[in-house]
Amino acid sequence: MASNTKRRFWDRTARTVVSIGGLGIICAILLIFFYLVYEVLPLFGGAEMSEGEYFPEPVPGSAQLLEVDAASGVALRVDDQGRAEFYDLAGGEPLAGESLAGAAGAGLTAVAEDAAGSGLFAAGFADGGVLVAGWNASPEPDTGSVSPRLEFPFGREPFRLLADEPVRALALRTGQGRIAIAAIGASGRTVLLEEGADPDPAALVAAPQPAAASLRRELSVDATNADTILLTEDPRWMFLVSASGESSLVQLGPGNGARVVDTATLAAAPARLVDVRLLAGGMSLLAADSGGGVGQWLIVREGESARMRQVRRFDLFDSAVAAIDVELGRRNFIAIGGQGELALVNATAETESLRRGPGGLLARAAALAPAGDALLLEDEQGGLSLWRLDNRHAEFSLSALWTRTWYENYTEPALVWQTTAADDAFEPKYSLAPLTFGTLKAALYAMIFAAPLAVCAAVYTGYFMAPGLRRQIKPLIELMEALPTVVIGFLAGLWLAPLVDANLAALALGALLLPISVVLASAAMARLPERFEAGLKEGWQLPVLFPVLLLASWLAWSLAPPLESWLFEGSLRDWLSLRWGLDYVSRNAMIVGVAMGFAVIPAIYSIADDAIFTVPRHLSYGALALGANSWQTMVWLILPAAAPGILSALMIGFGRALGETMIVLMATGNTPVMDMNLFEGMRTLAANLAIEIPESEVGSTHYRILFLASLVLLLFTFVLNTIAELVRQRLRKRYRTI
């Protein structure tokens, strides 16, 4: 009686501990899932806009230039009379002012800000002079107070670009170690002045210095009808735009060479062009029209030539667009409608982060802060208002994650993952499609290598092999699972990849000869005389095949050089590249498939072997007694009965291959490409997380998209295991009567 009570106590204790452990695992998985969702949800939230802070007094004149500093604390406004005025955005009071027209001695006719965001701007005058100025609103190191001021990096004397001819249009561009100024005169003459300067344009404002070298060119292009000139980030291109909406793409050559390579109509009739701006990056043109839309135009290269192409159009308002401005750091732009509507848009993601209907945002000029966290508006009466923005994840959209997107400097839409570059004008590309493709590609090739070997080994050891030999072989195979994947990845990257690279033909021939030699040797053994077959114990045929495998390997190694020279013109790698266009990369999908397959073989083998071995022996004995041979019994009886366990083994192996990190990280080039080529590399979701999570800024769009990649990987595994379990249960139900 006491023993029964004690037994029941330990049974309840074990049941409770197991239940708590199981519930703990379920809770841990749910917590991981909800934490990932928590980190990802902010991506789906739009921008927020606070109530405007209105300046106490209207400002005189009409703004020709309106800018906000990087800290969103000071604004610069240049009016049509050439008066440059600074404003304290916290209190709305003027801080300082200076007349640019007075410094030049002539009336102001054109103003252009640097699209690269250097803080420089150019002012053109009626006498043909152009003055380059910058402004500095950084706090004083001693007092911390802000005293904004104008700086003149090339002196207060204007450049004489046009002799006694008013400047009608003006453009300024810094970058690539140069400062370029382009001007159109009243007669249509186009002049380009390039100044050698410090590669960092901001240094010109902080520490003015004379130009190291200058080159003035009068371009051989007719700009009689042009009212706007824009210089791209690439010094080879320039846009000429007329008020009617006709745009010309000009290619700049050496000397005075310039030619129009393409023309386009930016605003189709009856709409008229309202404003044009270069998007951040300096290679994408935004055209706002009176139809309430904004079009995005790219320079698309076609061989040695190029053309303009409208890749996107945003139909934002029912009324005309009144004002637009671009964010300097990202491909965001703000558009204000004629009835006070507002739209904050990311051009690449094609998403509206913020939308406000008709209301009190009537404006004739708008200025976005460089970081996109503030918006300065000027209305028709000269009133200024400041609006605070929170637009952290504008680059995110589901379409950009999974569909082809047209980026600057691309000839067509593409699926690209690229989060960093050396170029300041770089545009992050957040497509998860190449990473997902790479994950499936790596897992597929690993399973192609591992599944046949593991399942066939399980069939042999679980049914055909002698029990004594099985007890020695099975633990050795399972022991492979204890080998750290970082060691496997290390060996694959530093030993296997160079070995395959140097002996590709021999390994290809070996992959062909080894299975053929095993089949032929097995067929020969089956036809041996009875006296030889009687001397070989049942289930001990495997050791006899070892000499055959060694002989086949030696033949492959010896025959590969002459065959490669005869069939593949001396090099299999070059033949694959020239004949089939298959470029061979040293660390490729084949190396990953072999290494990762080696890692998942033990898990697949162990479960499949147990499933086959545990099929009741009386079933096979009965089949053999009825006249079936061993193979017929295996194929038609044992495998169907063990099918649920074999399927579970394959799904577990595939799930492990999906989440494998270190092998892929070390054995491939980690290039996010979408190519099924066996000899190309890839980047997987797991490897990408290991590479980029340590370098991403916490809370940034990049950071949260990496968490979204983790969530995608978790959902992949969940869906795959769910499908596998449903199929397994169905198979169990089907074959339970066997």
Query: Is the pLDDT score of 544 beyond 50?
Result: yes
How large a percentage of the chain has pLDDT more than 70? 92
731 or 479, which is more confident: 479
Q: Please indicate, yes or no, if residue 363 is contained in any of the structural domains.
A: yes
Q: Do 225 and 320 fall into the same domain?
A: no
Tell me, rounded to whole angstroms, the distance of Cα 145 from its chain centroid.
41
Q: Do 278 and 248 fall into the same domain?
A: no
Instruction: Tell me the C-alpha distance between 290 and 181, whole Å.
Output: 29
Helix (H, G, I), strand (E, B) or coil at 122: strand
- Please give the average per-residue pLDDT across 363-378, as a whole number: 88
Instruction: Tell me the C-alpha distance between 108 and 105, whole Å.
Output: 9
Instruction: Tell me the C-alpha distance between 514 and 110, whole Å.
Output: 79
Tell me, rounded to whole angstroms, the distance of Cα 176 from its chain centroid.
25
DSSP secondary structure code for residue 464 in this structure = I
Contacts made by residues 409-415, CB under 8 angstroms, sequence distance 24+: 409/283, 409/301, 411/300, 411/301, 411/302, 415/674
Q: Do 255 and 283 fall into the same domain?
A: no
Please tell me the least confidently modeled range out of 75-79, 250-254, 576-580.
576-580
Dihedral pair phi/psi, residue 233, rounded to 5°: -65, -35
**What is the rounded (10 degree) CA torsion for 25, 30, 36, 37?**
180
What CATH number is given to the structural domain containing 685? Answer: 1.10.3720.10
- Taking only the tens place, the pLDDT of each residue in 483-535 is 888 999 999 989 998 888 888 888 888 888 888 888 888 777 777 666 665 55
Identify residue 120 by its one-letter amino acid code: L
Tokens for 13?
A: 């204790």
Q: What is the pLDDT of residue 247?
A: 93
Which residue do the tokens 């406000």 mark?
356
Last residue of a domain, one of 244, 265, 286: 265
Q: Do 219 and 279 fall into the same domain?
A: no
Q: Do 123 and 170 fall into the same domain?
A: yes
Identify residue 513 by its one-letter amino acid code: L
Q: Please indicate, yes or no, if residue 563 is contained in any of the structural domains.
A: no
- Please give the average per-residue pLDDT across 21-48, as a whole number: 92
Q: What is the pLDDT of residue 737?
A: 59
Q: With bands split at pLDDT 50, 70 and 90, how would you rate the model's confidence at 538?
A: low
- Please give the average per-residue pLDDT across 632-645, as a whole number: 86
Q: Give the residue among 246, 106, 229, 217 at the shortest CA–CA distance from 172.
A: 229
Q: Do 63 and 209 fall into the same domain?
A: yes
User: Strands 374-378, 384-390: parallel, antiparallel or unpaired by DSSP?
Assistant: antiparallel
Identify residue 68 by its one-letter amino acid code: V
Query: Is the pLDDT score of 452 beyond 50?
Result: yes
Q: What is the pLDDT of residue 535?
A: 56
Q: Please indicate, yes or no, if residue 536 is contained in any of the structural domains.
A: no
User: Strands 237-241, 228-231: parallel, antiparallel or unpaired by DSSP?
Assistant: antiparallel
Helix 433-459 / helix 701-735 crossing angle, nearest 10 deg: 30
- Please give the average per-residue pLDDT across 6-18, as a whole number: 89
DSSP secondary structure code for residue 44 in this structure = G
Query: Is the pLDDT score of 63 beyond 60?
Result: yes
Q: What is the pLDDT of residue 445?
A: 94
Q: What is the pLDDT of residue 541?
A: 66
Q: Do 338 and 486 fall into the same domain?
A: no
Q: Please indicate, yes or no, if residue 373 is contained in any of the structural domains.
A: yes
Tokens for 438?
A: 């790479």
Q: What is the pLDDT of residue 602?
A: 92
- In sequence order, what DSSP letters do the residues of 387-423 get, joined into one string? EEEE-TTTT--HHHHHS-B--TT-SS-B--EE---S-
Last residue of a domain, one of 414, 442, 461: 414
Q: Please indicate, yes or no, if residue 661 is contained in any of the structural domains.
A: yes
Residue 265's beta-bridge partner residues? 246
**What is the rounded (10 degree) CA torsion for 439, 444, 446, 451?**
140
Q: Please indicate, yes or no, if residue 304 is contained in any of the structural domains.
A: yes
Q: Please indicate, yes or no, if residue 575 is contained in any of the structural domains.
A: no
Q: Do 158 and 247 fall into the same domain?
A: yes
Q: With bands split at pLDDT 50, 70 and 90, how would you rate the model's confidence at 455?
A: very high
- Taking only the tens place, the pLDDT of each residue in 563-599 is 888 888 778 888 887 887 778 888 889 999 999 999 9
Q: Do 198 and 324 fall into the same domain?
A: no
Q: What is the pLDDT of residue 105?
A: 66
Helix (H, G, I), strand (E, B) or coil at 683: coil
Contacts made by residues 687-695, CB under 8 angstroms, sequence distance 24+: 687/661, 688/417, 688/435, 689/661, 690/661, 690/662, 690/665, 691/665, 692/419, 695/420
- Please give the average per-residue pLDDT across 86-98, as a whole number: 82
| Residue 728 CB coordination number (10 Å) | 17
Q: Do 292 and 340 fall into the same domain?
A: yes
Triad 493, 703, 695: Cα angle to 5°: 50
Instruction: Tell me the C-alpha distance between 271 and 255, whole Å.
Output: 38
- Taking only the tens place, the pLDDT of each residue in 604-618 is 999 999 889 888 888
- Please give the average per-residue pLDDT across 407-433, as a whole number: 86
Dihedral pair phi/psi, residue 344, rounded to 5°: -110, 120
Q: What is the pLDDT of residue 384?
A: 87
How large a percentage of the chain has pLDDT more than 90? 30
The residue segments making up the domain with residue 472 are 433-502+586-735
- Taking only the tens place, the pLDDT of each residue in 175-208 is 777 788 999 998 888 888 887 644 344 443 333 3
- In sequence order, what DSSP letters do the residues of 124-158 get, joined into one string? EETTSEEEEEEEE-PBPTTT--B--EEE-TT-SSP
- Taking only the tens place, the pLDDT of each residue in 273-321 is 999 999 988 888 999 999 999 999 999 987 777 899 999 999 999 889 9
Contacts made by residues 51-56, CB under 8 angstroms, sequence distance 24+: 51/387, 52/377, 52/385, 52/386, 52/387, 53/89, 53/92, 53/385, 53/386, 53/387, 54/92, 54/383, 54/384, 54/385, 55/87, 55/92, 55/383, 55/384, 55/385, 55/386, 56/92, 56/93
| Residue 257 CB coordination number (10 Å) | 12
| Residue 145 CB coordination number (10 Å) | 7
What CATH number is given to the structural domain containing 126? Answer: 2.130.10.10
- In sequence order, what DSSP letters do the residues of 598-634 get, joined into one string? HHHHHHHHHHHHHHHHTS-HHHHHHHHHTT--HHHHI
Number of domains observed in the structure of the chain = 3
Dihedral pair phi/psi, residue 84, rounded to 5°: -95, 120
Query: Is the pLDDT score of 432 beyond 90?
Result: yes
Q: What is the pLDDT of residue 711?
A: 94
Q: Is the peptide bond before 270 cis (omega within 30 degrees of 0)?
A: yes
Q: Do 612 and 596 fall into the same domain?
A: yes
Question: Do residues 607 and 651 touch, judged by C-beta distance below 8 A?
Answer: no
Question: Do residues 278 and 284 touch, judged by C-beta distance below 8 A?
Answer: yes
Last residue of a domain, one of 213, 235, 265: 265
Instruction: Bin 119: left if φ > 0, else alpha if -120 < ψ < 50, else beta.
Output: left
Instruction: Tell me the C-alpha distance between 474 and 461, whole Å.
Output: 8
Q: With bands split at pLDDT 50, 70 and 90, how would you rate the model's confidence at 41?
A: very high
Instruction: Tell me the C-alpha distance between 237 and 299, whole Å.
Output: 9
Q: Please indicate, yes or no, if residue 240 is contained in any of the structural domains.
A: yes
- Taking only the tens place, the pLDDT of each residue in 465-489 is 878 788 888 888 888 888 888 999 9
Please tell me the least confidently modeled range out of 103-112, 324-333, 432-441, 451-460.
103-112
Question: Do residues 262 and 248 touch, judged by C-beta distance below 8 A?
Answer: yes
Q: Do 113 and 259 fall into the same domain?
A: yes
Q: What is the pLDDT of residue 738?
A: 58
